[in-house]
Structure 1
């Protein structure tokens, strides 16, 4: 074989290798674009596809709800002894406010205040001092109070508890 024939054979072989990779690269690109498009649709970033009308209505409802400020209900001071195995008793003093959506729910919460005070006091008497230490303990206390309060004021809904004073002695 001559040098020219070997060069053409080498070029043909190299061209075949490049053409063999081209469909693979194209397929990977198509899959990446399809995956990105599906993710954007699922996340709701493509407004024209999939009928996102529900999310727009929900966003409008949230905007209307945010327009009126929440109502804060003052809880009288709660002083309770904690569940302690030490010789000396540990006491806690809690002063807090409950956050509700509107005045109507605020009236329901005010009417249920004796029940709320009983629930909170009972929960605090069963709590150990080490459970309330640190920010994680305060967060747990907040979650428990919200959960118990929502059970006590069933038609109304308490969205948060704001601690004004939390003293352990």
Structure 2
């Protein structure tokens, strides 16, 4: 009997011993996982987060565009015979990237004015209807001015005033 009791005590000890070892292994794994996650978060915080802010701070501020005034233009629009003559008054500015481009464009302003007037005289009043008509006009004027002032590049033609009478 004593042998049976010793065998039962040994079996109970064997069953109860693995339970604390399993808990210990689980605790060690959880602590290791938290250490890895914490180390990754600390690395990101100290190295990568501040690096992004420094890169943004070092980027130069974009330069504001420069504008070149074009003389006002008054042209008559094409109409059907017998219709009342309609006129178009336009005041535009040219948008360029840098101040030095202004000096390159100023000598060509008579050519730009001529190209604009020649094109505008061929328009009909229906060509200027709505915002789509004005957008097409702006795009066509931009294309034509870039041909006239090449190799200098104009970003956009902006309307200051446009009146159809």
What residue number does 1:118 align with? 114
Partner residue of 2:138 out of 132, 136, 142: 142
Partner residue of 2:77 out of 69, 78, 82: 82
Deviations 1:130-165 (A, max 9, x none): 011110010001001100000000011110111110
Q: CA deviation at 1:105?
A: 1.0
What residue number does 2:156 align with? 160
State how far apart, in whole Å, the 1-side matches of 2:104 and 2:73 are. Answer: 20
What TM-score, normalized by structure 2, do the two folds share? 0.62
**Segments ≥4 residues shifted beyond 6 Å:** none
Q: Secondary structure at the match of 2:71?
A: strand
Q: CA deviation at 1:98?
A: 0.5
State how far apart, in whole Å, the 2-side matches of 1:167 and 1:91 are. Answer: 8
Larger Rg: 2
What residue number does 1:72 align with? 67
RMSD value, Cα: 1.6
Deviations 1:108-137 (A, max 9, x none): 111110000000000000111101111001
Unpaired runs of 5+ in structure 2? 1-55
Counterpart mapping for 1:1-169 below 5 A: 67-85=62-80, 86-169=82-165
Q: CA deviation at 1:96?
A: 1.0
Q: Secondary structure at the match of 1:88?
A: coil
Q: CA deviation at 1:68?
A: 1.2
Unpaired runs of 5+ in structure 1? 1-59
